[in-house]
Amino acid sequence: MIHLSRISSYLTFAAAVSFSALAQAEDVKLTGKPYIDMNYGPYLSASIEVGPGNIAYKGIAIRLDEGPGGVSKGNKFVVFETDTLRMAAAWSGDKFIDWRSIVYDGSHGTHPKLAGERVFTNPVAPGWAKPGTD
């Protein structure tokens, strides 16, 4: 049997978490597009085109600066490609990615691309390998 004091504690905790999330959301400008407005947290796993013919198919995009709104609301980013163990790219700018793909805006045959100024890109090649092996 759950005691009333426990239920009260759970409700108080849930309310505190909800109000905290609402306070953070006030600092973020919304676009009306749910895939852009969503707070993904500090990183996003996705296939991201970092340059012409250079796609991080198993990419983890990470926000490097601090602030509310998660990875998509940042200004400085890197994408690590887990298949080749390479740091695929770093970029900065007011936008995160262009969001064009079937997952986000419904477009076919596209991948999200970096939006902003590239700091560096690495070619599609192993980023980590044992010396002397091919």
Which DSSP string corresponds to the chain? ---HHHHHHHHHHHHHHHHHHHHHHTTS---S-HHHHS---SEEEEEEEEETTEEEEEEEEEE-S--TT-GGG-SEEEEEETTTTEEEEEEESS-SB---STTTT--SS---BB-SEEEEE--SS-SS--TT--
What is the model's pTM? 0.74
Q: Which two tokens stand for residue 120?
A: 């560096």
The pLDDT value recorded for residue 50 is: 96
Task: Inform me whether the pLDDT recorded for 119 exceeds 90.
Answer: yes
Compute CA distances 110 → 2, 62, 64, 85, whole Å: 52, 21, 26, 23
The dihedral sign for the CA sequence 66, 72, 77, 79:
positive
Task: Inform me whether the pLDDT recorded for 36 exceeds 60.
Answer: yes
Q: How confident is the model at residue 133 (pLDDT cuts 50, 70, 90)?
A: confident
pLDDT (tens digit per residue) in 55-101: 999 999 999 999 998 999 999 999 999 999 999 999 999 999 999 99
User: CA 27, CA 29: separation in Å to the nearest integer?
Assistant: 7
